[in-house]
Structure 1
Amino acid sequence: SFLDLMQCGVWAVLLWPYLLSVSIPLDCKEEQGSLSRCPSISQEKLLDRVIQHAELIYRVSEESCSLFEEMFVPFPLRLQRNQAGYTCITKALPIPSSKSEIQQISDKWLLHSVLMLVQSWIEPLAYLQTTLDRYDDAPEMLLNKTKWVSEKLISLEQGVVVLIKKMLDEGMLTTTYSEQGLFQYEVQPEMLESVMRDYTLLSCFKKDAHKMETFLKLLKCRQTDKYNCA
């Protein structure tokens, strides 16, 4: 069937994050290990690996959102999502949105903004796994992609925390934004409502993953060419 052909055709796309995550580890050594226990890695190398991690997360989030949209969201509803009262769970966070705001904030707030975004998505993405399991026709590749992103987000959080300690000489931040009521569970919603909620989650996460990548790349630019990072 067409669905079978589509699933077979994207298996290569599904596998590349796993291959890249092995070839570009976020750990300070080439073998497996916890980034939070690796203070010997240089700040420059750590930032490069955190950026690579964020790039992968954003790319896979794009693929997951597109696949979900194609399989479960009728075309008219794709256009109505932003008009139906669905808002992103991170809207309440003090994250700069305009280019001028982003250019003006300090390195400290760039890192803290990334950490806020990462932490705020850990719980929703974990919950998304339980909702996707209820879809009768959810392809394995979609489940694998969202699971991969959820796991790598935790690793990214570890990397950003260590980066904050290195660059700003700060201890681990105790605030976990995913525990402050930003994400509210819904009990057995209607199927269409469930689809639109999950679609909103994936769409919002894709946008926030792009913000994480952008903030980290701006930080990297400031380290190398402070006056030419527009």
Structure 2
Amino acid sequence: MNRLQGLQSRVCTLLLALCWDTVLALPLDCKDESGGSAHCASIPQEKLLDRVIQHAELIYRVSEESCSLFEDMFVPFSMRTVRNQAGSTCITKPFPILASKSEIQQTSDKWLLHSVLLLVQSWIEPLIYLQTTLNHYDNAPDTLINKTKWVSEKLLSLEQGLLVLIRKMLNEGMLMPSVYEPSLLQSDLPPDMLDSILRDYNLLNCFKKDAHKIETFLKLLKCRQSDKLSCLVY
């Protein structure tokens, strides 16, 4: 059984590495040499929205892969069962909870855009923190570490793209990107390693849920630009 699990783990790592190469080939880079967002500002609104959606799709895909890899590597099977039965608690502070799809359908484009921006900004610091905790894990695969780092970097790129998109679609003034201080983040694990593993596992699962929410809201926004009747599926 252990040999089978080892083979499955190696196959999983290989497949994730192949997906990794695909992800890196599709960047969204808004910053110019001066650090501004002039590059994205020159992209037509429709194409910029397409790129932002594509970027969100990739982030969600990598979040799924990272969560599965972390689970396979570190989470005891018994704890996965308990978690799946009880569910996990995810709280996104700046984000209002909507009770149904109908409520989401009734929201404005402005609400969708600003909610997506808030979700993106709310995860920048936690994912930087996660990078520091992974360094304390024994035998943490490079694939997992690299994917976590990639998502952190691409969230910043997605934030830049969203800021330009909001200015284009809503005719709003330039919003400021989020500001964070990585040096202020705590990197020491608590004494109980299992508690830390479950905390990080929950963080990855919660981020995966919000990444899917980001992707869904952006696709709903795109749908509204063409055929509103077909948007009821979101």
TM-score of the superposition, structure 2-length normalised? 0.83
Q: 1:103 maps to what in 2? A: 105
Alignment of 1:18-57 (within 5 A): 18-22=21-25, 24-27=26-29, 36-38=37-39, 39-57=41-59
The match for 1:16 among 19, 27, 51 is 19
Q: 1:157 maps to what in 2? A: 159
Q: Is the 8 A contact 1:119 1:178 kept in 2?
A: no
Alignment of 1:124-163 (within 5 A): 124-163=126-165
Q: Is the 8 A contact 1:120 1:177 kept in 2?
A: no
Q: Give 3-state SS (helix, strand or coil) of 1:224's partner.
A: coil
Q: 1:7 maps to what in 2? A: 10
C-alpha root-mean-square deviation of aligned residues, in Å? Answer: 3.1
In structure 2, stretches of 5+ residues that fail to align are: none
The 1:35–1:224 alpha-carbon spacing in structure 2 relative to 1, beyond 3 Å, is farther
Q: Is the 8 A contact 1:116 1:176 kept in 2?
A: no
Which region of structure 1 is more displaced relative to structure 2, 55-64 or 65-74? Answer: 65-74
Displacement of 1:136: 0.5
Q: Is the 8 A contact 1:118 1:153 kept in 2?
A: yes
Q: 2:73 maps to what in 1? A: 71
- Letter of the 1:11 counterpart: L
Q: 2:123 maps to what in 1? A: 121
The 1:85–1:220 alpha-carbon spacing in structure 2 relative to 1, beyond 3 Å, is closer
Q: Give 3-state SS (helix, strand or coil) of 1:227's partner.
A: helix
**% identical aligned pairs:** 66
The 1:28–1:160 alpha-carbon spacing in structure 2 relative to 1, beyond 3 Å, is closer
Q: Deviations over 1:87-133 (max 9, x none)?
A: 32415622535211211110001011110110000000000011111
Q: Deviations over 1:126-174 (max 9, x none)?
A: 0001111101121111111111111111111111111001101112334
Q: Is the 8 A contact 2:160 2:177 kept in 1?
A: no
The 1:205–1:79 alpha-carbon spacing in structure 2 relative to 1, beyond 3 Å, is same
Displacement of 1:11: 3.0
Q: Distance in 2 between matches of 1:213 and 1:76?
A: 31
Displacement of 1:213: 0.3
In structure 1, stretches of 5+ residues that fail to align are: none
Q: Distance in 1 between matches of 2:36 and 2:97?
A: 26
Q: Distance in 1 between matches of 2:35 and 2:187?
A: 34
Q: Give 3-state SS (helix, strand or coil) of 1:7's partner.
A: helix
Q: 1:214 maps to what in 2? A: 216
Displacement of 1:4: 6.7
Q: Give 3-state SS (helix, strand or coil) of 1:46's partner.
A: helix
